[in-house]
């Protein structure tokens, strides 16, 4: 039962933050699964991608679309290349040592955080 509650909380927080500021999978779900559920880095990444495989953000997207904040052309271009990048990225990640993947993940999050905090 505790596991279900933790998973529900992870999903709820990821959904709220995704709807509010456009984050969820990599920034919320992956670290939460690692630290609260003790899953491996690769299992957390795979699970996060599986969650996003379905149209989980459809209601949030509809709200942004209705308000005029969705660029369909950009969305289609990014989505088409995201598919290709996701395929090759997963192949690379699976081939690497799990500790290396965790370090890369952490470094990317840190660099993004620094840029967001100190950038214009």
pLDDT at 97 over 90: yes
Q: How confident is the model at residue 4 (pLDDT cuts 50, 70, 90)?
A: very high
Q: What is the C-alpha separation between 8 and 64, in angstroms, rounded?
A: 24
Looking at residue 23, what is its pLDDT? Answer: 79
Segment 65-94 shows an average pLDDT of 91
Task: State the average pLDDT for the chain.
Answer: 88
The label of the residue with tokens 């192949």 reads 91
User: Residue 63: CB partners within 8 Å, gap ≥ 6?
Assistant: 19
Domain count across the chain: 1
pTM score, two decimals? 0.73
CA–CA distance, 31 with 13 (Å, rounded to integer): 12
pLDDT at 82: 85
Rounded CA separation 22/52 (Å): 13
> Between the CA of residue 30 and those of 5, 59, 77, what are the distances in Å?
17, 22, 25
pLDDT at 108 > cutoff 80: yes
Give tens-digit pLDDT for 12-69.
988 888 877 777 778 888 899 999 999 998 898 888 888 887 777 888 889 999 999 9
pLDDT, average across residues 65-85? 91
> Cα separation of 119 and 101, whole Å?
26
| Residue, of 25 and 107, whose pLDDT is higher | 107
Domain that holds residue 113: 2-118
């Amino acid at each position: 039962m505790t596991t279900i509650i933790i998973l529900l909380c992870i999903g709820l927080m990821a959904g709220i933050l995704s709807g509010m500021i456009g984050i969820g999978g990599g920034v919320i779900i992956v670290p939460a699964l690692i630290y609260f559920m003790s899953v491996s880095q690769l299992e957390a990444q795979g699970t996060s991608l599986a969650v996003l495989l379905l149209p989980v953000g459809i209601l949030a997207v509809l709200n942004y679309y209705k308000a005029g904040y969705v660029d369909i052309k950009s969305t289609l271009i990014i989505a088409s290349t995201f598919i290709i990048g996701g395929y090759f990225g997963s192949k690379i990640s699976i081939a690497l040592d799990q500790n290396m993947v965790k370090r890369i993940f952490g470094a990317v999050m840190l660099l993004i955080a620094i840029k967001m905090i100190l950038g214009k």
